[in-house]
Each structure stands twice: as structure tokens, then as C-alpha cells.
Chain A
Amino acid sequence: MAVTTPSEVGAQPVRAGRRPLLSSSRLAWTGTLPFLGYVGVFLLLPTGIVLWDAVHGSSGGFDFGAVSTLWSSSTRSYFVNSAELSAITSVLGAVLGAVLSYAVATGNPEGLIRRLYLAGSGVLAQFGGVTLAFAFLITIGPTSGLLLHAGWFYDFPQGIGLIYVYFQIPLMVLVFLPAMDGLKAQWREATETLGGSAWQFWRYVGGPLLAPAFLGAVLLLFANALSAFATIAAWENQISYVVPQQIGTALSSEVGLSSVNQADVLALGMIAVVAVVMTGYTLLQRRTTRWLR
């Protein structure tokens, strides 16, 4: 045991030396430069170009004529279809994904099953595009043995909705599992000792606590489905149902009728919708973080 003397508990000597070249806050900002550059070039700049082009005509002057086509019945139908497909697949994916998250969260946190589910979800959430559409075509489509002559597979939104749900569920597992994990065992036990049943726990505690996280995840899934292009393009390349398809069509007409201006306007509409959705997601996520950290 050592004896503590006043000299030992005195102030630590201050090292005299040169000031650092960069303060810690400046250093932190310097570290974010590559990321900010990336965001600037691949998000802000394209958004700016889309905005600029959408309100300028071919002569170069301001022209809001193209913007007004956003309210035309044909353009509206692309947005309605996009919203319908996104809403159905996000709600379906969210519900099924939430159930799966619950199953994973209540299992062994270090177990093999959890690791398998997380690894699988990580891969499957990114599994989209032509390969996914093809996988469904050869298993469920009319040429397959599973559901031979499944005519509904080419109906919108059922067919493509089924394919979208395939990547929406694992994405839901990834984004919702942290919230599920944040639900403390003590809250359930406190409810129990206070006289509550399992149903009352979910009604008054678990449900309200998870609601912002669930709604936020639904919005994220909605934005995910809204912006998907390659999968639906592989599923149907003749008819445009949703906005991303029509943007593609407007950019690459095979008969010389491409319209960059229309693509810009559609993209502008998409940006507005996604901005609203992601603002909602951010607000809900903030509440989730406070409650379930």
C-alpha cells in the first residue's frame, strides 16, 4: 500500500511544446473531406443538374412547361403506380421482416442462427436487379415447374411486388433488429411485476416504443422500392409502370424520341418524394435512438 503525499496528488506538469498544426475540430473536418466530396459529386451535383434542367427549356432560358407535366394524367399514373408498388412491398416487407427480427432478437445473441440470419440478410438485401428477376422468372414464372402458367406473375403490381418483397424483408431485418435489441428485458419484467400481461406489455410498452422504429423502417423500405429500377426493368421491358422505368424510357428511346427534359422532371418529382420520405424517416429515427439506445 502506498502513502499518498501532497506532492504526488498535485497538478500534472504541463508539457511546453509547439501547438499542433491542426486543431482537433479542424482535423475532424479534414477527415470528412473525402466523404463530403463524394456526396457533392454524386448526390448534390446531379440533384442540382436535374433541378436546373427541369426548369430550363432547350433554348437555355427558364421554362416551367416541363414541370407542369408532373400533373399530367400519364405522369401522375407513373407516380401512383410507384407509390402503390412501394407501399404494398414496404408494408408487407416490414411486417414479415419485423416478425423475423423478433424471432432473431429473442434467440441467443451469440448464436449461430442469429449470425446466419444477419449474414444472409446482408447479402439478400442487396440481391436485386436482373439476377433477382431472372431467379423468380425461372422458379415462379410461366416457364417454371413451381407455379407453371402463373399468369399473375406478369400482372402489376402482384408479380413485381412478390420480387420486391424478396429484398425488402432482409432489409427490414437489418434496419429493425437494432430497435428490437434495444427493447430492454427490464421493461417487460417491470410490466409483469406491476401486474401486466404479455398483451398489455405489447399494447402499452413494447408497441409504442417500437412504433417509431417500425414506421421509420417502412419509410426506408418505401424509398428503397421507389428508387429500384433494374429489377422491374428486367421483369418488364416493354411497358413502363413506374417512374424509374419511364425515366429510363425517356432517356433511351430506340426511335429517336428521347426526352432528357421529361426525365429531368420525373427525377425532380422523385427527389421531392424521397426528400419527404427520408425527412420523416430521420425524425422517427431520432425518437427511436432516444428511446431504444
Chain B
Amino acid sequence: MTGVEVSLRGLHRRYGSVVALDGLDLTLAPGELVALLGPSGCGKTTTLRLLAGLEDADGGQVTVAGADITHVPSNKRGMGMVFQAYSLFPHMTVRDNVAFGLKLRRAARAERDRRAMEMLELVGLTEQAGRYAHQLSGGQQQRVALARALAISPKVLLLDEPLSALDAKVRAQLRDEIRRIQLEVGTTTLFVTHDQEEALAIADRVGVMRDGRIEQLGTPTDIYSRPATSFVAEFVGLTNRLHGTVAAGSVNVRGCVLPLADPATPDGQATVLVRPEAVTVVPSGPLTGTVIAVTFLGASSRITVDLGDTTVLAQLPTSEATALPAGSAVALTIRPDPVLVA
């Protein structure tokens, strides 16, 4: 099934005095995977549940392929959903779980089994077809849940933190597998997560949410490299908060003059947000300090440098970082990329 366009316009939702969604707007292009990222309580799961029809919006409109489904009950929406906790039916085999949606649609037994095996092949679990949920690992259970959601050929696939209960290695594997399968079936997908690495790795576009609204919607590169707000800059990736002085469209941070992402920033004292990758080690430079910690990240490493009155993080190739053990004196500079102020 090819993807369809999904549009959420002006969605409002309150729980008592708490505003969960405050006029949220979001459009997913056909076949696109959009990840909603944000802290707890920002409204990302509420957005997904409103799209699924599991909750009603107080205001706003939901359209799928141009049809208004705002008031359509969830069992008539044709959405496939994978939940955070394992939601497989424990009294059914893997095959019966996957075929369940088709059984509800009164498909013939042979057709149900054929489709279930097709989906299990897609997620690589044909050999587990006769097993029960308690006989599977967490990762396998979530793959079955994905197969079950896809078996009904949904118009939209909804993933509600499907990897959060898995250990790191399985999480990374399944994340890549979800993306492979999503590209293969071409279903428009909304993926909710609080894990920034997950969102940036899997999505065509990422929506960073805050207080019931989308703060920034863009490609992973945009979100990381060109954050629209200080909240996005601080929520996605690591950020150094350094004191600086704004004057005439640039900011001076400890002798490094950096262009401003927002030229309208008023002159004066400011807290400047600088990515660790923008901090580089130089033979001699404006920032000098002592390395107090080295964190190995694989091909790159992160060093923490004590500048006397503050600390700064710098990310550099591991080959360079190995020459800077804790206690080393080091000189740093900041690459003149456009920066945001908090």
C-alpha cells in the first residue's frame, strides 16, 4: 500500500487544567516517517492517540488522504499501531496475533494465514509462528507487534515508543529494521519517542515538541545543525552554555567572535549555545584549560575541559583525544558557525 497524506490542524486537548495540545499543526507527506520528539508531558503521545482515535480532540481537525476522520471511531480508521509495552495477546500464537486484524475483518482462514506468514517473513520471524508471546524475547515481541499492525495494510502506521522497553543493542537493531520495513511498505508513519538518537536516526523529519506545540519540524540535519530555538538546541544533542557579549550581529565568547543565527539578537550579555563539535583543539588559542575527563564514544571521543570558572565539552576524533589524557593542559577555539543565544 502506498502512503497517504496525514494532516493535523489546530489540535487542542486538555486534561482538567493541564493543556496537553495547544493548537498543534502537523502534516505528514505520503510515505513519510515523522518522529515526534520531546520531554515527558510535551503532548507527543497525546498527538498519536488523537490520530489513532483512542482519544477525542477538544478542537481541531484530523484528515487522512483528504478525508476528515476527526470524529471517526478508532476501529474504523484503519491505522496500525505498535505500543510501548508489549501488547501481544498472550493466549494467541504469534501467527494468530498477526492474523487477528484480518479475523476481525472476516477474512478467510487461508487468507489470514497466508498474510500472517507474509508479515512474519517481513520481520524475520516465520519460525516463531507457533509460539506464544511469553516464549519470545522483548525484541521479537515488538517485531510481532509490528507485523500485526502491518497485516491489515494500514493507511497510517503509529509507533508509540516501541523501542523504549528494549536493551540498547536490540533497540538499535530493531530501529533499523523498522526503518527498512517502513521504506519497503511505504506506509506513512508517525513515530513517538523521547530518545533523540532514535528520532534523528530513523526519521525523514523530526518534530521537536514542547508544551503541546511543535517547536521545530525539520530534517534531522536541520534539527541538529540549525536548531530554531534554544530549547531545540539544548534538547537535541549536547550543548555548551558559555557566557558571551553580543554586539553588532556577532557574539564574543572568550575571545572567539561567532556569527549569530538570529541577527536580531539584542546587544548585551548573553548565554551562547555551542555544540561540542564546534569546539576544537589548537596548539594555542583563546580558551585554555585542563582536561578533566575523556569519554570514549567509538570513532570520536568527548573531552571535558576545566576553564577555571566553567567547563566546556569538545568532541574530537579518538586518535586526537588519546593524546589528551586527564590532567593535560589544552588550548581550544570555537569554530565560527552561527550560534543561538539562550
Q: Which A residues contact B (CB, under 8 angstroms)? A: 1-3, 184, 186-187, 189-197, 200, 204-205, 208-209, 290-291
Contacts and interface: CB of A to CB of B under 8 A. Distances in A.
Given A1-B304, A184-B87, A187-B87, A195 B81 contact: no
Given A3-B294, A189-B87, 17 more contacts: A1-B304, A3-B293, A184-B85, A189-B74, A192-B54, A193-B74, A193-B80, A194-B101, A194-B149, A195-B78, A195-B104, A200-B104, A204-B104, A205-B89, A209-B90, A209-B91, A290-B90
B103 interface: yes
> Considering the complex of A and B, which 7 residue pairs feature the smallest CB-CB distances, nearest first?
A194-B101, A186-B87, A3-B326, A1-B293, A193-B81, A291-B90, A192-B74
Contact of B292 (A1, A187, A194, A205): A1
Contact of A2 (B54, B158, B293): B293
Secondary structure call for the B interface: mixed
Contacts of B91: 208-209, 291
Contact of A195 (B75, B90, B293, B311): B75
Contact of B81 (A190, A200, A204, A209): A190
B180 interface: no
A200 B294 CA distance: 57
A193 B104 contact: no
Nearest to B96: A204
Taking residues whose C-beta sits less than 8 angstroms from the other chain, chain B's interface range is: 20 to 34
B205 interface: no
Contacts of B105: 195
17 contacts: A1-B292, A1-B311, A3-B326, A189-B52, A189-B83, A189-B87, A190-B81, A192-B53, A192-B54, A193-B149, A194-B100, A194-B152, A195-B76, A195-B101, A195-B105, A195-B152, A205-B89
A3 B292 contact: yes
A191 B158 CA distance: 14
A206 to B, nearest CB: 10
Nearest to B306: A1
A205 B87 CA distance: 12
A186 B83 CA distance: 7
Contact of B104 (A3, A194, A208, A291): A194
Contacts of A197: 75
Contacts of B80: 193-194
